[in-house]
A and B are shown apart, each in its own frame.
Chain A
Amino acid sequence: MATAMSDTGSPPSGTPLLQAVGITKRFGTFVANDHIDLDLWPREIHALLGENGAGKSTLVKIIYGLMQPNEGELRRLGRPVTLNGPAAARALGVGMVFQHFSLFENLTVAENVALGLSGEEPFAAMSARLADVSRQYGLPLDPRREVWRLSVGERQRIEIVRALMQDPKLLILDEPTAVLTPQEADQLFVVLGRLRSEGRAILYISHKLDEVKRLCDTATILRGGKKIATCNPKQETAASLARMMVGADVGEVRAGAQRKTGNPRLVVRDLTLEPDDPHGTRLAGISLEVRGGEIVGIAGVAGNGQDELFGALSGERLAPGAGDVVIDGHAAGDLGITQRRKLGAAFVPEERLGHGTAPRMTLSENALLTGHANGMVQHGFVRRLLALATVDRATKAFDVRKAKRDPEAVSLSGGNLQKFVVGREILREPGVLVVSQPTWGVDAGAAATIRQALIDLAGRGAAVLVISQDLDELKEIADRIAVMFSGRLSEPVEAPQATRETLGLLMGGSRAKEASHAGA
């Protein structure tokens, strides 16, 4: 998308405040950052845009000194600097607000801030300065209040004020609105505008296009570890940003086998479910039908209700009505996960370790974890040979590489454990399979094996629902794709008609009408 390389409006003269030059970071054979350049200027809000896994977090960690690049360097006002830790970054005037807060619930606001600062300042003076800073920036905080009493938005204020008290020249915010209500987000934008007017530089990480267009002066777009473009988001359309973010130029052709689709085997009818934890997403009126022989994909940015939907489908959380979830014609909304497995359903959660498997237990014990619903237990006794046989079959069918016959789950590499977890479920020949992020963090070979297995399973007549953030994956294997945003599920579109732009826009929260217009 070289054409998208537009000018950044009127570039400030002189040298950038902070410059990343040719930053490359490898994890084994995986290249998370591939020669990325980034210029951050004072008085500018710079967006870092990209899908999950595009390399945003890695780049930011390098700028904040949490990681060292394999190649390339950081320059401050033109001079190369080495940041061997966050303390060094802070000393150079870089502040960061993380997506996940590091606050002690039982301590007060002031105590939390004190813990994050270097500590020479007397507590009372620090506390007074905290009150000053929070008032000055319109981020009201009571220093004496315990953190557990505060809302998520207020907690974020602590993190921002803590960063501001060190008077940073550059403030990095990692997906700050992910945890905020729209009203809280609006307040945050006012504060950020004010910080810009004070001459500070802001690096704003997001995948929400509307937000970036509204707030940011410059946007750098990453995809697959590479820098795609730097542009002025105000001069771009949401559609053009989405295209750069998800990459319309990557294999648009769908080489899926033609399958015969049969009757609906998994049906969700107007499922509404309150989250059981305060950071969760409310599922709002979700309806969905997956027919036998069909793969339906659910796209969307993480945290838009996918976890909650998976829990409601698997039965880890019960639906309010029995008819909300129907498995092979049986109302299953009020059935637990074991009963749903007995109806022929199988589930693969996103988190391999700790959710899909017990990390410190052997593979055969982990086979028992889901297999106990289907004949692996007799009169209360475990049929250990059957469990072990499942391990052997999964090993053979899915080429699971491991050091011994029955090792602990935690000792396997991510890809091999994922092949085992998927294999464990597919070998039971389920009629309905719900799988979340089937190839997340998995090497290309394992990913291909897993995708092929899902296609083959659908070919044998099963209904397969794939929840994934990887659009390429969904385009490759799904027949229809729906998008999840804010706990709602869009109408599914036939995969061949689903352009990246349409899906990208839906993922960023634009309405379906606008999205289909852009996709036309």
Chain B
Amino acid sequence: MLALERRAERSVAAAILSPLIAVVLTLVTMAALFAILGHSPLAALKVYFLDPLTDAYSLQEIAVKATPLTMIAVGLSLCYLANVWNIGAEGQFLIGAVCGSWLAIKTQGTDVGAWVLPAMLVLGALGGALWALIPAVAKVRFGASEILTSLMLVYVADLLLDYLARGPWRDPNGFNFPTSVDFDPVATVPTLIEGSRLHAGALIALVVVAAAWLVLGRTIKGFEIRVVGAAPRAARFAGFDAQRLAVLTFLVSGALAGLAGIIEVAGPVGHLQPNFSPGYGFTAIIVAFLGRLNPVGILIAALFLALTFIGGEGAQISMKLPLDLTRVFQGILLFYVLACDSLILYRIRFVSSRKVAADGAR
């Protein structure tokens, strides 16, 4: 029988190895799935994970998809470190896109000037933050589970976006397609390389990573976040207010998700439309944990998860594999990441079942 035994000290080796073991286990599981679906596991894995790395277009696409994932996941990591469970980043992402888009749509076709894009980014961040404030206040004031409230608000945000894009904000000259007008050039995030989709949002994501690293590692606020999450009673002894911090981390993660949302519509998408997000807000949860809630780790994890989006598209085209397989992959990965994390604090030991029964009888 297997038993988990608590380690005296946190294992550094296991802390580094755990996400890698999780990735390997996921690949093995996926290979089995491919085989069940009647494909050569090796060929499918190659299409999924190697082919996207071999041409410049796919590499740029990986960076484009990693941008929102990174920004959202960094915000989520602050929440999770502080033991606050914001599951609704997808909703904050969508609301950020809606709020920023409002300005772009209202000023479309007028000659307003270069302040539009910065103002849109600010509105996007504000919108996401306010959307995140709802579950935060419900938690602090009424003790409502933020896991449920933040998740449920995702569907509210989704329907609101749907209504706006199909209703009041629909492009009158858009042949009844449920999209807004295309944003003016001044309301669009500039691309970094002429003719590519790689945009300035990627740089903002890098700045976010650097800022989060600085805050977590060097400032008292970052310390506060880590103590409140790791040892609540010691945090209270230190004079840190867990309630206020819950609200703050919700606000910051909501703002980052909202910012990512407006960058996404004002960048690669170029207009507001329903379903413009392939679930970035949910995938970012996996990114946050795979990246060990560390900003640099999150950057790496975001690139990896972005790879699965691109690989999934490739597999759909070349092997007729369903796109949902990407979701399956991401779910399995999160499962293994959380399971492998136990190895950091526990070691696996084999014990006879007799001993277990004796201990269990206590």
- Closest CB-CB distance, A338 to chain B, in whole Å? 3
Q: Contacts of A347 on B, CB cut-off 8 Å?
A: 237
Q: Contacts of B218 on A, CB cut-off 8 Å?
A: 381-382, 384
A372 within 8 A of B: yes
**Residues of chain B from 326 to 362 with CB closer than 8 A to chain A in the complex:** 358-359, 361-362
A356 within 8 A of B: yes
**Residues of chain B from 235 to 252 with CB closer than 8 A to chain A in the complex:** 235-239
- Closest CB-CB distance, B89 to chain A, in whole Å? 26
In the complex the two chains form, what is the Cα distance from A380 to B223 in whole Å? 10
A354 within 8 A of B: yes
Q: Contacts of A359 on B, CB cut-off 8 Å?
A: 231
Q: Contacts of A84 on B, CB cut-off 8 Å?
A: 358
Q: Contacts of B10 on A, CB cut-off 8 Å?
A: 360, 408
A414 within 8 A of B: no
Instruction: Choose one: A361, A384, A410; the contact of B227 (CB below 8 Å).
Output: A361
What are 7 inter-chain pairs, A to B, with CB distance below 8 A?
A: A86-B362, A351-B233, A354-B234, A355-B237, A361-B226, A369-B238, A373-B239
Q: Contacts of A361 on B, CB cut-off 8 Å?
A: 226-227, 230-231
Contact (Cβ within 8 A) A369 B237 = yes
Q: Which residue of A lies closest to B362 (CB)?
A: A86
Q: Contacts of A349 on B, CB cut-off 8 Å?
A: 237
Q: Which residue of B lies closest to A64 (CB)?
A: B362
**Residues of chain A from 458 to 508 with CB closer than 8 A to chain B in the complex:** none
Q: Which residue of B lies closest to A379 (CB)?
A: B219
Q: Contacts of A410 on B, CB cut-off 8 Å?
A: 8-9
Q: Contacts of A341 on B, CB cut-off 8 Å?
A: 239
Binary B-proximity of A60-82 (CB < 8 A = 1, otherwise 0): 00000010000000000000000
Instruction: Choose one: B221, B223, B237, B358; the contact of A368 (CB below 8 Å).
Output: B223
- Closest CB-CB distance, B325 to chain A, in whole Å? 38
A337 within 8 A of B: yes
Contact (Cβ within 8 A) B238 A372 = yes
**Residues of chain A from 352 to 395 with CB closer than 8 A to chain B in the complex:** 354-361, 365, 368-370, 372-373, 377, 380-382, 384
Contact (Cβ within 8 A) A358 B227 = yes
B220 within 8 A of A: yes
Q: Contacts of B220 on A, CB cut-off 8 Å?
A: 368, 372, 377, 380-382
**Contacts A316-B237, A372-B238, A382-B223 known; 18 new A-B pairs at CB < 8 A:** A85-B358, A86-B362, A316-B236, A337-B237, A337-B239, A338-B239, A341-B239, A349-B237, A354-B231, A355-B233, A360-B230, A361-B226, A361-B230, A370-B238, A380-B220, A381-B218, A382-B220, A408-B10
Number of residues from A at the complex interface, CB < 8 A: 37
- Closest CB-CB distance, A378 to chain B, in whole Å? 9
Asked whether A87 and B231 contact (CB < 8 A) given A338-B239, A365-B223, A368-B223, the answer is no
Contact (Cβ within 8 A) A369 B8 = no
Binary A-proximity of B1-42 (CB < 8 A = 1, otherwise 0): 000000011100000000000000000000000000000000
A314 within 8 A of B: yes
Q: Contacts of B221 on A, CB cut-off 8 Å?
A: 380
Q: Contacts of B219 on A, CB cut-off 8 Å?
A: 380-382
Instruction: Choose one: A356, A360, A365; the contact of B237 (CB below 8 Å).
Output: A356
Contact (Cβ within 8 A) A66 B238 = no
Contact (Cβ within 8 A) B231 A66 = no
Interface centre among A351, A358, A410, A411 (most CB of B within 10 A): A358
Q: Contacts of B226 on A, CB cut-off 8 Å?
A: 361
Q: Interface on A for B, CB 8 Å cutoff?
A: 66, 84-87, 314-316, 336-338, 341, 347, 349, 351, 354-361, 365, 368-370, 372-373, 377, 380-382, 384, 408, 410-411
Q: Contacts of B223 on A, CB cut-off 8 Å?
A: 365, 368, 372, 382
Contact (Cβ within 8 A) A336 B358 = no
Closest 9 CB pairs of A and B: A338-B239, A358-B231, A87-B361, A337-B239, A358-B234, A369-B238, A85-B358, A377-B220, A355-B233
In the complex the two chains form, what is the Cα distance from A355 to B286 in whole Å? 31
In the complex the two chains form, what is the Cα distance from A185 to B231 in whole Å? 36
Q: Contacts of B236 on A, CB cut-off 8 Å?
A: 316, 337
Q: Contacts of B359 on A, CB cut-off 8 Å?
A: 85
- Closest CB-CB distance, A87 to chain B, in whole Å? 4
Q: Which residue of A lies closest to B357 (CB)?
A: A87
Q: Which residue of A lies closest to B236 (CB)?
A: A316
- Closest CB-CB distance, B348 to chain A, in whole Å? 20
Contact (Cβ within 8 A) A87 B9 = no
Q: Contacts of A365 on B, CB cut-off 8 Å?
A: 223, 227
Q: Contacts of A408 on B, CB cut-off 8 Å?
A: 9-10
- Closest CB-CB distance, B211 to chain A, in whole Å? 13
Contact (Cβ within 8 A) A314 B227 = no
In the complex the two chains form, what is the Cα distance from A261 to B227 in whole Å? 39
Contact (Cβ within 8 A) A357 B361 = no
Q: Which residue of A lies closest to B9 (CB)?
A: A411
- Closest CB-CB distance, B83 to chain A, in whole Å? 13
- Closest CB-CB distance, B100 to chain A, in whole Å? 29
In the complex the two chains form, what is the Cα distance from A73 to B341 in whole Å? 44
Q: Which residue of A lies closest to B238 (CB)?
A: A369
Q: Contacts of A338 on B, CB cut-off 8 Å?
A: 238-239
Q: Contacts of A336 on B, CB cut-off 8 Å?
A: 239
Q: Which residue of A lies closest to B235 (CB)?
A: A358
- Closest CB-CB distance, A385 to chain B, in whole Å? 12
Q: Contacts of B238 on A, CB cut-off 8 Å?
A: 337-338, 369-370, 372
